[in-house]
Structure formats: structure tokens, C-alpha cells
Chains A and B, each alone.
Chain A
Amino acid sequence: MTAATHKLAELDDVTVQHILGRRDRRLTFLTFAAILGVWTAVTGSGLWEPLIRPMFLPSPVAVAETFWQLLQTGYQGRSLAHHVAVSLYRFATAFLICILVGVPVGLLMGTSRRIRAVVEPPIQAIRPIPKLALLPLFLIWFGIGNLSKIIVIAAPVFPLIAISSMQAVRSVSAKKIQAAQSLGASRFTIFRRILLPASLPGIFTGIRVSISIGVTMLVGAELTATSDGIAWMALTAAEYLMTNVVLVAVLIMALLGYGLDRLFLLIETSIVHWTGKD
């Protein structure tokens, strides 16, 4: 193949991908539009009789109004921004610790059998324990402040990130390692220039998978012993059947999860362009 024809083939690939991407996005948009349409239809939105009572499912318009109200007056003495920020703080701190500690631990487990023999069994032993069940214990140990909440969020996320990082290292193809060895690379060079970059896609996948688990744990963490947070807002509003408020909080959490996933996808695609290229 000549250079010219190769360039052409490559161009074609890029355009095809671009068109597909646009089509995909249009489909995604349609899905959301359809959901909103059905929601509007069954709740009436003040235009016709609702099929479902507002107490169970308020209309999109009512939810938007509630959101606007919450923005102005806050919820239970604190601004909406405060509730979002405090939840985000708990989640982000837990997540950051998990990434900063879990990824290196996983990488070490993946590279050294001895380290794996020491570290993996306890991690695996802790994995099946439902972490929310440990919340009362964490409250006793770490107090009713943010620390216990951060720890309960980190508890399931940490092993997930560590184990997936380990597996990412272990699944680096033997051929690539052998190629590096026969090119004279030292063990350290192989770790830094082969194992680390080759396992980044897998590490990112592990991180993104654990985002939804982290958000779930956030709800658990704000079940008790707190008076702020977006999940706490939903839980307390539900006690008074303020479905509007519950929905606003749920949507904010959904958006949070989705936003974080997109954020990490963005970081991933901007640094690991080789994902899925093997």
C-alpha cells in the first residue's frame, strides 16, 4: 500500500466514525425525548388529567418548578448548592483516596506475586461483606462526621479499583513484555513504559464501573447521622411524601453519576487513545 492510498483509507475511517457518531448521538437524544414525552403524557403537565397521581409521579413541569424553588429557598435551612457540595465532597474525597491508593496497590499486586500473596487475600475476604452493614460500626469508630461517610463510600470502591488495576496489569499481552525484554529493557523500564500504559485502559474501566457503586454508597452513607447532603434530602423528603423534592434530588444524583462518568471518559479518551486497539 502506498503512502497516498493509506492516507485515503485513514481519512475514510475518520469520516465514517464521525457520521456514525452523529447518528448515535441523534438516537441518544431521541431516547431522552421519548422518556420525557411519556412522562409528560402520563402526568398531564397541567394540560390534561394525569394518569398517575402527582403524589406518585409529579409532572416534569412541577419538578422543574420545585427545582427552581429549591434553588431560591434551599432545603431545611441550607441552600441546594450546600447539599450538592457536601455530597460531592464526601464522594470525591472517598474516590480520590481509592484511586490514589487503590491503583498503585493494584499495580503492585499485578507485578509482584509476593505482594499479591500478602495483599490480595484480605481484599478478597472483605469484598463479599455488604459494606452498608458496616456503617454502624464506622459510626462508632470514626464518629458521625464526614469521615465515617467517606469510609463507607470507599469500602466497596477501593477493592474494586485495586482488583481491576491488578487484572489490567496481568492481562498485558506476554508478547509485548517479551518484545520489550528482547529489546534490552530493564524491569523498571518494562513497568514504566509497558505495563503501566498498557493497563491504563483497564484501570479507567475499573474506575468508571465503580462510579455507580460510589453513588449508591453515597445514598447509604447519608441514611443516618447527618442533616445535609443530596441523598439525605431525598430520604427526608420521602418521609413527608414530597415527591417533587425526591425527584429533584434523584435527578441531581443521576446527573452527578452521569457527569462523573463522562468526565472520566473524557480524561480517558484524552490520555489513553489506544483503548481497545489490540
Chain B
Amino acid sequence: MMIEPIDLRQPRHGTPPKLQVEQLSKSFGSSSGSVQALAPFDLSVEAGDFLCVVGPSGCGKTTLLNIVAGFESPTSGSVYVDGKPVTGPGADRGVVFQQGALFNWMTILDNVAFGPRSTGFSQSVARQKAMELLELVGLSAFAKKYPYQLSGGMQQRVGIARALANNPQMLLMDEPFAALDQQTRELLQEEIRSIWQRTNKTILWITHSIEEALLLATHIIVMTARPGRTKASFVSPFARSSDPHVASSMEFAAAKRTIFQLLRGEAKQAQQMEEVP
């Protein structure tokens, strides 16, 4: 059991992939010049893949996710979901943010019901769906609370339930657990893994934790320093392992070392880039 290099730029099955990113680049213009966040970037994600993106900070991970979510438009290149070009945000792609994206003026129940309500379901049906999802993430007892009354870990669970409420086939998550403490993070990783296994959703997950990537992902992309492009990509076996102690295995440690080595060089370069403006 080991991570194996794999080319994730082209579709791996005959059919169109769930997500196809073609020659995607993004530059941000400012008065002091423009910053190229993403180099022409190709990526193909098949339905049911759990893809983790790791890379030094500032390499364009969030930019990539924002473009796939439809929040930002690319400078060049295009993004296709199920073969259709992405032109803006849509209910077919659920997004989970790091923190601060819950609606504090709505109860937990209404936060989760917001998606179904916005996509045409009646209040009572939307709330019923929301209640089922709150049960899934173990928060049904808190349905009438407001987000700010919950701990950080619970808030992230609400965010996940909310993103699932429209039953999107794809989930986009930008370092969703980065602000949580170690214990809560491990618990939630376990939960997201079981949700993914049960629902077979396609997940694009950004993280700066190599361990998290190895635990959750079926595929891992290591990005270069800015402008972000693929440095290496792997298929990873650990997420499908039934061994609860897989993280303490020799293979896991070896895989961690491999990715760490790749990242370290890029992180150094990213740091130098910040020092020389």
C-alpha cells in the first residue's frame, strides 16, 4: 500500500469527468502591477474522487476553488462540470468555507434549510430536509440555536450539513478544518470520510495538512509556489483502508515524507517570493 504517481490532467475514463479544468490561469491586477496566482492549470476529477490539493500558502489553491465554485472568473481557460462550462455559482456545487460563512440571524435549522428553500422547496419540506441532515451530523438537538451559540467544530458541521442540503454531487471545501483544534479536526475528518463513503460525492478539498490529505483523499495534488501549477499528483490508498490505525503504519509515514519533501522546496520558494516584492 503506497501512494503512486498519476497524471490527473486528462480524463481517466472514456466518459466526460465530473470536473474538468482546462488551461486555467488567473491574474489579479492591482495598481502596483499584476500577480499571477494560477499558471495554466489542467485537472480532471472523476465522479466519486476525493481530491486533496496541498501547496505552499499563496500558491493559488483558494483561487482555484473560487473559480470552480464560480465566485471568480478565470483570466484564461475554462472549467467544466459534467461537461457543461461553469459560468457562476450554482446549487450543483456545495461549498464549505473555513469559518464565518454561517448566517447568524437564522437558526441552525434555517441555515441548513436555506439551500432547499432557495431552490424551490416549501418551507416545511426544506426544514424537513434540514432536520434529516442535522441528524446526519449529530446536531438535531441544536436545531433552534443560532450559529454563534455553537462551538467552532459544531459550526463546521452545520456548514457541511448546509452544503449537503441541496444534495450536490460535488463538494468544494477550502481548508474547512484549519481553524479547529486537533481533536475536533480528527472527529470531523472521520465524519466527512463516512459521509463521502456513503454518498459517493466528488470532493475537492484544499488543505495544508499532509496528514489530512493522506487520510481523506483518493487523489492528491501537490502544487508549486505561485503561480500555482501541478508539481506532482498521486493516487492514494489510505482513505479506502478499513484499518483504523492506518495513520500509524510505515507506508503512511513514507507517503507523508514523500509529499513533505515535495512541499518543502516549494514552500521555500514561496517564502523567498514574499521577501522580494
Residues in B neighbouring A22, C-beta threshold 8 A: none
CB <8 Å contact, B89 and A182 = yes
Which residues in chain B, 110-169, are within 8 Å of chain A measured between CB atoms? 114-115, 118-119, 141-142, 146-151, 153-154, 162-163, 165-166
CA distance A175 to B151 in the complex (A): 19
Of all chain A residues, which has the CB nearest B168? A182
CA distance A222 to B150 in the complex (A): 51
Given A182-B90, A198-B105, also A173-B100 (CB < 8 A): yes
Q: Does A178 contact B (CB under 8 A)?
A: yes
CB <8 Å contact, A277 and B151 = no
Residues in B neighbouring A3, C-beta threshold 8 A: 141-142
Residues in A neighbouring B89, C-beta threshold 8 A: 178, 181-182
Which residues in chain A, 167-217, are within 8 Å of chain B measured between CB atoms? 173, 175-176, 178-186, 189, 193-194, 197-198, 200
CA distance A9 to B104 in the complex (A): 19
Q: How would residues 77 to 102 of chain B score, 1 for a CB under 8 Å from any chain A CB and 0 otherwise?
A: 00000000000111101110100111
CB <8 Å contact, B103 and A1 = no
Q: Does A49 contact B (CB under 8 A)?
A: no
CA distance A62 to B100 in the complex (A): 56
Residues in A neighbouring B3, C-beta threshold 8 A: none
CB <8 Å contact, B118 and A182 = no
Given A10-B149, A194-B103, A197-B105, also A186-B94 (CB < 8 A): no
CA distance A80 to B95 in the complex (A): 62
* Nearest CB in chain A: distance from B110 CB, A: 9
Residues in A neighbouring B151, C-beta threshold 8 A: 1, 6, 9
Q: Which of A178, A184, A193, A277 is B69 in contact with, Cβ under 8 Å?
A: A178
CA distance A189 to B121 in the complex (A): 14
| Chain B, interface residues (CB within 8 Å), range | 35 or more
CB <8 Å contact, B119 and A184 = yes
Describe A's contact surface by its main secondary structure: helix
Given A1-B153, A194-B103, also A181-B88 (CB < 8 A): yes
Q: How would residues 241 to 274 of chain B score, 1 for a CB under 8 Å from any chain A CB and 0 otherwise?
A: 0000000000000000000000000000000000
Residues in B neighbouring A184, C-beta threshold 8 A: 90-91, 115, 118-119, 166
CB <8 Å contact, B101 and A274 = no
CA distance A181 to B256 in the complex (A): 36
Residues in B neighbouring A273, C-beta threshold 8 A: 105, 146
* Nearest CB in chain B: distance from A144 CB, A: 46
Residues in B neighbouring A239, C-beta threshold 8 A: none
Of all chain A residues, which has the CB nearest B139? A3
Residues in B neighbouring A272, C-beta threshold 8 A: 105
Q: How would residues 260 to 278 of chain A score, 1 for a CB under 8 Å from any chain B CB and 0 otherwise?
A: 0000000000001110011
CA distance A9 to B149 in the complex (A): 10
Of all chain A residues, which has the CB nearest B140? A3
Of all chain A residues, which has the CB nearest B110? A193
CA distance A198 to B147 in the complex (A): 14
* Nearest CB in chain A: distance from B81 CB, A: 12
Of all chain B residues, which has the CB nearest A3? B141
